Amino acid sequence: MEQPNLSYIQGMSGGDKAFEKKLINIIKLEFPQEKEVYYKNVAAKKHKETAENVHKLKHKISILGLEKSYDVAVAYEENLIEGKTELKKEFEAILQIMTVYLDQL
């Protein structure tokens, strides 16, 4: 499984460390909240709302350089819109990897 990285953030910042830190702090603040809402909607089998949660989370997946995982998120979002939950396990594994990575930053 691919690992998160800061390449995208570093490329976007142009070397501005204060900007990088600010963006990382925003992600570290928002990600746990968005993940919690995602899990609540999954438990309640609210597929439309869960798809919206995945849509928000996939941007953070992209920002953390997880290109293949982003593709999984796109496909999972489309499945949820159709009322299917295929790729749930794969998506939640991505969330776990991101959680561990962000906790280490």
* DSSP-derived 3-state class of residue 78: helix
Q: pLDDT tens digit string along 63-98?
A: 999 999 999 999 999 999 999 999 999 999 999 999
**Residue 83 structure tokens:** 């009322």
Q: To which residue do tokens 């979002």 refer? A: 77
Q: pLDDT tens digit string along 7-44?
A: 999 999 999 999 999 999 999 999 999 999 999 999 99
The residue extents of the domains of the chain are 7-104
pLDDT higher than 90, residue 1: no
Instruction: Give the chain's length.
Output: 105
Angle between helices 88-104 and 17-43 (to 10 degrees): 140
